Amino acid sequence: MSIPHYSYRTFWYDEDQEYVAECEEIPGLSALAATPEEAIRELKEAILAYFAILDEKGLPYPEPTRHARAA
């Protein structure tokens, strides 16, 4: 299963001393890890688990908020 081209951001969180990754299209879903790259990988795993729940309930996936423009 592939993940749509979502918008991700990472930032350092002092309280946990780890990086946090978030997905703009799925508020409330986040992942923590030692590096920004690991946080994004963990977030993508969480997104796939979220998609499995949506599939079970017959619900659609969130649409990406940003789209590439034609040249």
Residue 67 binned pLDDT confidence (cut-offs 50, 70, 90): low
Cα 4 to Cα 37: distance, rounded to the nearest angstrom: 18
* Model confidence, pTM: 0.86
User: Which one is predicted more confidently, 69 or 54?
Assistant: 54
Residue 71 binned pLDDT confidence (cut-offs 50, 70, 90): very low
Tens digit of each residue's pLDDT (9 = 90 or more) over 6-46: 999 999 999 999 999 999 999 999 999 999 999 999 999 99
Residue 66 binned pLDDT confidence (cut-offs 50, 70, 90): confident
Region at 69 (left for phi over 0; alpha for psi -120 to 50; beta for the rest): beta
